[in-house]
Copies of this chain bind each other. A is one copy, B any other.
Amino acid sequence: MPNITVELLAGRTLEQRKAFARAVADQAVEILGARRQDVRMVFTEITADDVANGGVLASEDESRAGVVAALKKG
């Protein structure tokens, strides 16, 4: 504990996950006073067809097209 779930659009590299997991664990230890070994993080990838904002799927949402395209390029 803390048990942290990170729901994110598919497309991040393994290196990004590793760096993010390490950085957040550092912050949990420093700010929340957690024991490092108790910090757990799970990544859940979703696609732009799985999420809607304001009733519009991200894959159909022009205001998010830049974000989605950037992830697809990797």
Q: Are B41 and A51 interface neighbours, CB within 8 A?
A: yes
Q: Which A4-41 residues sit within 8 Å CB-CB of chain B? A: 4-9, 12, 14, 16-28, 31-41
Q: Are B17 and A49 interface neighbours, CB within 8 A?
A: yes
Interface size class of A (residues with CB under 8 A): 35 or more
Instruction: Name the distance in Å between A14's Cβ and chain B's nearest Cβ.
Output: 6
Q: Are A27 and B21 interface neighbours, CB within 8 A?
A: no
A46 within 8 Å of B (CB atoms): yes
Sample of 11 A–B contacts (CB below 8 Å): A1-B67, A2-B7, A2-B9, A8-B32, A16-B33, A18-B60, A23-B55, A36-B55, A39-B54, A41-B51, A43-B49
